[in-house]
Structure 1
Amino acid sequence: MEQIKREISVMRIVKHPNIVRLYEVMATKSKIYFVMEYAKGGELFNKVAKGKLKEDVARKFFIQLMNAVDFCHSRNVYHRDIKPENLLLDENDNLKVSDFGLSALAESKRQDGLLHTTCGTPAYVAPEVIGQKGYDGAKADIWSCGVVLFVLLAGYLPFHDSNLMEMYRKIGSADFKCPSWFPPEVRRLIRKILDPNPSMRISIAKIKESSWFRKGLISDKQIMRKMENRDKGVVQSSSSSSSESSGIPNKSKAEHEKPPYLNAFDIISFSAGFDLSRLFEEFSPQREERFTSRQPASVILSKLHEIANCFRLKVMKKEMGLLKLEWTKEGRKGILGIDAEIFEITRSFHLIELKKASGDTMEYKKAIKDDIRPALEDIVWVWQGEQHPRPQ
């Protein structure tokens, strides 16, 4: 159960276009259901099993892998089992990191600031993980990514032996040879990644600065923007002709001007009977407040702007139906930010979700209770958890 809790809590915070999405978790008395993004292209392993990939193709996958792993590390999440079998592909051949069953959060570190659980797949695991003296999860993930890069370009593993202890010896001393077809800049990069000394191992930031990596680079901000637009049902036209293009068709202007629409599955998933969040309170990085309103979206948006003016908050419009409210004064954990998102159920009936985007959780709860909820009273029909709607 602890492993399931950890995997769910991890996947709730690693929302990135190159990571398989967990859309919903539901349960019956005997089963837990993960509703996940469908990766139509299958495992990257199946491509590599047919032989080495072309350099440009391998670079594209490696860039997407680095972007995903870098994002995980920025959220203090360490995958710990990166290998081609856990890297899936969508219908456009874009990479999706999956299987966070062995992942660790920063809270898993001991007093020495290191992780101590030996896990992963032997051929891809970093030497310090085998050493059982504690390891930096980020450095260990980088090593595994280096092994993946080698496999993509070579078509075989850098460390392989029928005797497991001999393979561990090769890993510990970085005893491997690059094939003759590896370009010099790739050889240099892989040597820096597969450095058996984790303190000397290259960082993701330095990997992204390497000349070989930058040849096919697409900015992470551009990728994130595509992901956000896809998830909200709003697609912006892109001038990029990169191979990492999302391939999602443009929508009409009218659709851009409407908040996201909730289908029956979405509505059911908000039901308390299907909500497992209480099982994962200890891991949950965010808190949400939801209410319904019988006012049109334009009135709700006007009210949110009015509240922002009243409390002197910054308002940032991310897209139709999604606003970010930010306090100007810094709190205990930085600036408090709240995402306010409007979902259309019918033309005159909406669900609004308020979610902490940044800052301290206690300050967020206080702001919701003392300021936001009272100010919204005249447009609220019913708050989630309340039994009786307000007359309107």
Structure 2
Amino acid sequence: MWHAAVAEDLKPENLLLDEHKRIKIVDFGLSNRFDDNQLLKTACGSHCYAPPEMLSRQSYVPQMCDLWSCGVTLFVMVCGSLPFEDTDGHTLSKKIVAGNYTPPAFITDTVKDLIAGLLTVDPAKRFTIADVRAHESYRQIPEASVRPRDLVSGQCGLEEDVLQELKCHGPDPTRFQKLS
């Protein structure tokens, strides 16, 4: 069964909140189809949010790239700036591949730890979703560690009206079938 690697362009600009303050991921233009345990080689997404393995042109596990992008996004949301910045693309890539960033002093040690776990250069050592869900910073909000009902019951949570709107604009909504 294939999955959609939707977050190969995960960044704050592609996250929306609905009326219930639930995050909706948008802009699937750079998504990929992949089979379970399949490695990808496609370099795509926004440079500042791309993980080291993608920039190094290595084969990569899509979910681990998504978690790196979550780490960059978390850093941006907490700190108000990108962890890796440079006007020169080559220098920027070197910083990302080295994991060379400095968290500001004003963020707590637990948040620094969560960001560091997500921005771990070695994808085999990077935080997984389970690691994030178990992390002290994540668990500060009681409902944050509870899986949404639609995921528990096996539903993917995609809304039909959104899929219909996508269909009107060209992309094939079946690309975004439920994750299992």
Q: Displacement, 1:223?
A: 6.2
Cα separation, 1, equivalents of 2:79 and 2:130: 24
- Match for 1:156 among 81, 90, 93? 81
Distance 1:94 1:163, change over 3 A: same
- Give the equivalent residue in structure 1 for 2:28: 100
1-structure distance, mates of 2:130, 2:109: 20
User: 2:94 matched to 1:166?
Assistant: no
Question: 2:33 touches 2:175 (CA, 8 Å); kept in 1?
Answer: no
Distance in 1 of aligned mates of 2:131 and 2:113: 12
Answer with 1 or 2: which has the greater Rg: 1
1:279-330: CA deviations, max 9, x gaps? x7x96969xxxxxxxxxxxxxxxxxxxxxxxxxxxxxxxxxxxxxxxxxxxx
Q: What's the CA shift for 1:231?
A: 9.5
State the 1:200 CA deviation.
Answer: 1.0
In the alignment, what sits opposite 2:17? 89
SS of the equivalent of 2:137 reads: helix
Post-superposition Cα deviations, 1:43-93, rounded to whole Å, max 9, x if no partner, equal: xxxxxxxxxxxxxxxxxxxxxxxxxxxxxxx97321210001111122344
Counterpart residue number, 1:220 = 147
| Structure with the larger strand share | 1
The letter for the 2-side match of 1:201 is R
Taking structure 2 as the reference length, the TM-score comes to: 0.78
Q: Distance in 1 between matches of 2:104 and 2:79?
A: 7
What per-residue deviation string (whole Å, max 9, x for no partner) do you get for residues 26-53 of structure 1?
xxxxxxxxxxxxxxxxxxxxxxxxxxxx
Equivalent in the alignment of 1:128: 53
**2:70 — aligned with what?**
145
Task: Tell me the distance in 2 between the aligned counterparts of 1:82 and 1:154.
Answer: 17
TM-score with structure 1 setting the length? 0.38
Measured in 2, the distance between the counterparts of 1:150 and 1:184 equals 13
Aligned-residue CA RMSD (Å): 3.4
Partner of 2:123: 198
Given that 2:75 and 2:83 are in contact with CA atoms closer than 8 Å, whether structure 1 keeps it comes out as yes
* Structure 2 counterpart SS, 1:106: strand
- Aligned partner of 1:46 in structure 2 is none
Aligned residues: 164
Q: Secondary structure at the match of 2:72?
A: helix
- Structure 1 residues 231 and 285: alpha-carbon distance in aligned structure 2, compared to 1, 3 A threshold: closer
Structure 1 CA distance, aligned partners of 2:114 and 2:176?
37
Matches within 5 A, 1:258-277: none
Give 1:101's aligned amino acid: G
By percentage of residues, which structure has more helix? Answer: 2
Question: Is 1:78 aligned to 2:5, yes or no?
Answer: yes
Matches within 5 A, 1:315-326: none
1: CA distance between counterparts of 2:2 and 2:113?
Answer: 29
Q: How big is the shift at 1:215?
A: 1.0
2:61 alignment partner AA: D
User: How many angstroms apart in 1 are the aligned matches of 2:142 and 2:82?
Assistant: 25
Unaligned stretches of 5+ in structure 2?
none
**Structure 1: how far apart are the matches of 2:151 and 2:28?**
20
Q: Which amino acid letter does the alignment assign opposite residue 27 of structure 2?
A: D
Determine if the alignment matches structure 1 residue 183 to structure 2 residue 111: no
The residue identity in structure 1 corresponding to 2:128 is: S
Change (3 A) 1:217 1:168: farther
Distance 1:148 1:283, change over 3 A: closer
The alpha-carbon deviation at position 147 of structure 1 amounts to 0.3
Q: What 5-or-longer segments of structure 1 have no aligned partner?
A: 1-73, 233-264, 270-274, 287-357, 359-392
RCO higher in 1 or 2 (8 Å CA, sep ≥ 6)?
2
Instruction: List aligned pairs for 1:351-362, cutoff 5 A.
Output: none
Post-superposition offset of 1:101: 1.6
How far residue 105 of structure 1 moved from its aligned partner, in angstroms, is 2.0
Trace 1:235-246 onto structure 2 (pairs within 5 A): none
The residue type equivalent to 2:118 in the other structure is I
- 1:217 Cα deviation from its structure 2 partner: 3.9
Whether the 8 Å contact between 2:4 and 2:176 is mirrored in structure 1 is no
Displacement of 1:188 after TM fit?
Answer: 1.0
How far off is 1:192 after superposition? 1.1
| Alpha-carbon distance, 1:94 to partner | 3.1
Deviation of 1:134 after TM superposition, in Å, equals 1.1
The 1:160–1:220 alpha-carbon spacing in structure 2 relative to 1, beyond 3 Å, is same
